């Protein structure tokens, strides 16, 4: 979805507009991943993503449990 330093060779950045078009155009489940955190998860979900994954947003947090709760709350507001 977004630029991320997690991978040595990163996947192309799609952004929410292109990813949303791709998600809407296929009948298969998709998982949005890459640079997703609390600041942009709402836009990822608004673009049509129903499945998403994060790494740094939780593992890089000083309080992973609170980070998970924040992401869950954002996701619930968009469901």
Give the model confidence (pLDDT) of 16-57 as tens digits.
Answer: 999 999 999 999 999 999 999 999 999 999 999 999 999 999
Tally of domains in the chain: 1
Q: How far apart are CA 49 and CA 18, in angstroms?
A: 12
Query: What's residue 12's pLDDT?
Result: 87
Query: What's residue 67's pLDDT?
Result: 98
Average pLDDT of span 66-75:
98
Strands (E), 1-79: 32-33, 52-53
Name the percent of the chain in helix, strand, coil, to the closest 5.
Answer: 45, 5, 50
Could you tell me if residue 31 is inside a domain? yes
Could you tell me if residue 20 is inside a domain? yes
Kindly tell me the burial class for residue 57, based on how many C-beta atoms sit within 10 Å of its own C-beta (0-12, 13-18, 19 or more). buried
- On the question of pLDDT at 11 being above 90, the answer is no
Containing structural domain, residue 45: 15-77
Q: Which residue has the tokens 């998860």?
A: 41
Could you tell me if residue 66 is inside a domain? yes
Query: What's residue 46's pLDDT?
Result: 96
């Amino acid at each position: 979805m977004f630029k991320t330093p997690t991978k040595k060779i990163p996947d192309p950045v799609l952004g929410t507009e292109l990813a949303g078009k791709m998600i809407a155009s296929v009948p298969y489940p998709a998982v949005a991943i890459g640079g997703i955190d609390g600041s942009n998860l709402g836009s990822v979900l608004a673009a049509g993503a129903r499945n998403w994954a994060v790494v740094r947003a939780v593992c890089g947090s000083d309080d992973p449990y609170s980070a998970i709760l924040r992401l869950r709350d954002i996701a619930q507001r968009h469901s």
